[in-house]
Structure 1
Amino acid sequence: MSTITDVAREAGVSVATVSRALRGLDRVSPHTRERVFKVAERLDYVASPTATSLASGRTQVVGVVAPFLTRWFFATVVSAIEKTLRQHGHHVLLFDLEDESYDRRLPLKQNMLWKRVDGVITLNLPMTAEELELVDRLGLPLVAIGTPVADRPNVRIDDAQAMRDATEHLVSLGHERIAYVGAVPSNVAHIQTPQARLDAFREVMHSHGLAEHKQWILGSDWSADSAAADTRILLRAPERPTAVAAASDEMAIGVMAAARAEGLRVPEDLSVIGIDDHALSNVLGLSTVRQDVTAQGRLAAEILLRQLGISAGEDAGTHVVVPTELVVRASTAPPA
């Protein structure tokens, strides 16, 4: 690992100048400070977290890292995190790792975190070994929402149970021909949640002896538009399902739009259920399995604040499973 002497040699300045530049002290010109930062980053030099904290204090900022921010879940949970942190003088710095393609994401790098945040909250984001090594090297506490990160606190729902409840509801109404929307490629950045929900759907179908039609397992980028386009093709086929279980409410809303576009009535011709309890679900009469997204954001922020030595809320532990609830509305009914 590089030392402060290595940085000073490469930058052509003294060790004292490197120390002042990296600690944000004065008596260092902007040009020199920039040169030192670039060299330190190139050499992967990181000052002792303890020494850095003593010199400059905490940033009172928490990095929130997401594979993308364009879905309702992510926007809602970030809002809850920010409101909780704000009560204790901290704020959010967002890192949206969305790439041009849905099945890829950008990496988390040192220049995003170093001396910019006191801790990290990840949102449904599996971390690579390199990213975990970086977080450890910087001495940053980390809390994961959704997809767990090894040996770190975690706040989540039971994704499998949520989909079991949704599918069992359709089966209890008498549906046997049930389609699924929400399958994703195995290399998608947040694969765990989609895979857990698809596995649970298949488990329930199998337990009731119901046939799984491969052409009725629809891929999606977890958006309403994509789900609507895929479902319209499905509903035009000679044989169609009587019900659709969608892995999120946004996709379920797309399914309802597709049914309407194809001249089908919901729920008379097609029952639809999702997971989330999206802000529009009640208005649209969508049956769903509700998850408390706000509670997940609040709990994760409180756990991180406690790791920073700041008392926040009641201590619920470091591995929290937030309960879900089946909410039956007008979009599901027995098959005609």
Structure 2
Amino acid sequence: MASIEDVARTAGVSTATVSRALRGLPNVTEATRVKVLTAVAELGYVPSPSASSLASGRTRTIGVLTPGIARWYFGEVVDGVEHALRGLGFDVLLYALGSPRDPLPRPPVDPNVLRRRVDGTLVVGLPLEAEEISSLAALGVPLAFVGSGPRGQVTHRVDDVAAGLAATRHLTALGHRAVGHVAGAQDPVSEWSPAMGRRAGWRRALVEVGVDAPSSWEVDGNFDLEGGRAAGHALLAAHPELTAVFASSDEMAMGVILAARAAGRRVPEDLSVIGVDGHPHGELVGLTTVAQDAFQQGQDAALVLLQMVLGERAPEAVTYPTRLVRRSSTAGPRTVAES
């Protein structure tokens, strides 16, 4: 079990500084407090209640609102949040609503389920109406968003337009021009959803090479494997001229690969496929992807939220890098490869 000395050594500070940082005392810079909280989370250090008053007079609980944890991204973020908070003696109150498996429309967020039960709230990948955001802010505890979020709120996310650009530019650099898109369910509430940003990146990359993609080259895939499979079947049946598909998530991309195989099209010889996420199962099918670190986003967001609980200012927006992971699901179109 990690000790306070281990935390001090990892953070590069004294044990007294660790103690002051965890107790929320003055004379500790924001940068130092972040280093201490990060070391605590990494080492899994649990301060004894008598040794730390970080949560004194508080609930020791952070509320997490999410559509569910069945999808890879949500599960990774929640895991990161829980990992960071556990090391500081905080619990997670998970409030899942709007699961894609639920045939009924998502119920509106009820802030009363969190009232006087949490010290702060994280919203993970959940599109909210302006009234819902206002009701959460009215709880009087810090509020932050992970994966998406409106301007003016604390957010931790990747640049979704850049992710869509990187994925589609990879395909156009290989020589593809007929590039279809399997989008996540288009969010009618917020223009800041990942689906909207990645779609914009796809269109922009095609415009760069002189292609004005028809709207029929795009099909919603609901951000899951079965949705990606159905979207892949629809795209390939309606547009046999497509030589590549960009899917806005790896789960949908894997569904497209299954649809291509069922249609007798080889990947990548007949169809190149690329996704976004860095899902560990992608390696099993050789999926090229634009990878992100969802676990780190959750961990960092939790630590920043705790800073806000302590009354410190937080950066309004934290944008995480992505990286292109080239595997065997993408190659030049046959006309290029054979010439």
Do both proteins adopt the same fold according to a TM-score greater than 0.5, normalized to the shorter chain?
A: yes
Partner of 1:257: 258
Distance 1:232 1:149 in 2: 34
* CA deviation string 1:22-43 (max 9, x = no partner): xxxxxxxxxxxxxxxxxxxxxx
Kindly tell me: are residues 295 and 102 of structure 1, through their superposed partners in 2, closer, same or farther at Cα, counting changes over 3 Å?
A: farther
Partner of 1:223: 224
Alignment-mate amino acid for residue 232 of structure 1:
H
Q: How many pairs align?
A: 278
Distance 2:317 2:148 in 1: 12
SS of the residue 1:280 aligns to: helix
Distance 1:332 1:220 in 2: 20
* CA deviation string 1:111-153 (max 9, x = no partner): 3111211110011234334333333332110111122245332
Assess if the C-alpha contact under 8 Å between 1:180 and 1:246 holds in 2.
yes
Alignment-mate amino acid for residue 86 of structure 1:
R
Kindly tell me: are residues 132 and 316 of structure 1, through their superposed partners in 2, closer, same or farther at Cα, counting changes over 3 Å?
A: closer
Would you say 1:91 and 2:91 are equivalent positions?
A: yes
* CA deviation string 1:148-182 (max 9, x = no partner): 24533211100000110000000000111111001
User: Comparing 292-301 with 63-72, which one deviates more in the overlay?
Assistant: 63-72
Partner of 2:49: none
Larger Rg: 1
Q: CA deviation at 1:254?
A: 0.1
SS of the residue 1:154 aligns to: strand
Alignment-mate amino acid for residue 243 of structure 2:
T
User: Comparing 199-208 with 133-142, which one deviates more in the overlay?
Assistant: 133-142
Partner of 1:247: 248
Assess if the C-alpha contact under 8 Å between 1:244 and 1:271 holds in 2.
yes
Partner of 2:182: 181
Alignment-mate amino acid for residue 294 of structure 1:
F
Assess if the C-alpha contact under 8 Å between 2:206 and 2:212 holds in 1.
yes
| Structure 1: runs of 5+ lacking an equivalent | 1-55
Which runs of structure 2 are paired with 1:96-115 in the superposition (5 Å)?
A: 96-98=96-98, 104-115=105-116
Partner of 2:81: 81
Q: CA deviation at 1:306?
A: 0.9
Partner of 2:288: 287
% same residue: 40
| Structure 2: runs of 5+ lacking an equivalent | 1-55, 335-339
SS of the residue 2:222 aligns to: coil
Partner of 1:53: none
Q: CA deviation at 1:81?
A: 0.3
Q: CA deviation at 1:237?
A: 4.1
Distance 2:134 2:316 in 1: 21
Kindly tell me: are residues 240 and 138 of structure 1, through their superposed partners in 2, closer, same or farther at Cα, counting changes over 3 Å?
A: same
Partner of 1:202: 203
User: Comparing 240-249 with 180-189, which one deviates more in the overlay?
Assistant: 180-189
SS of the residue 1:298 aligns to: helix
Distance 1:196 1:227 in 2: 18
Kindly tell me: are residues 230 and 317 of structure 1, through their superposed partners in 2, closer, same or farther at Cα, counting changes over 3 Å?
A: closer
User: Comparing 74-83 with 186-195, which one deviates more in the overlay?
Assistant: 186-195
State the TM-score, normalizing by the size of structure 2: 0.76
Which runs of structure 2 are paired with 1:98-137 in the superposition (5 Å)?
A: 98=98, 104-137=105-138
Kindly tell me: are residues 333 and 225 of structure 1, through their superposed partners in 2, closer, same or farther at Cα, counting changes over 3 Å?
A: same
Distance 1:236 1:169 in 2: 24
Q: CA deviation at 1:286?
A: 0.3
Q: CA deviation at 1:300?
A: 0.2
Alignment-mate amino acid for residue 159 of structure 2:
D
Q: CA deviation at 1:298?
A: 0.9
State the TM-score, normalizing by the size of structure 1: 0.77
Partner of 1:326: 324
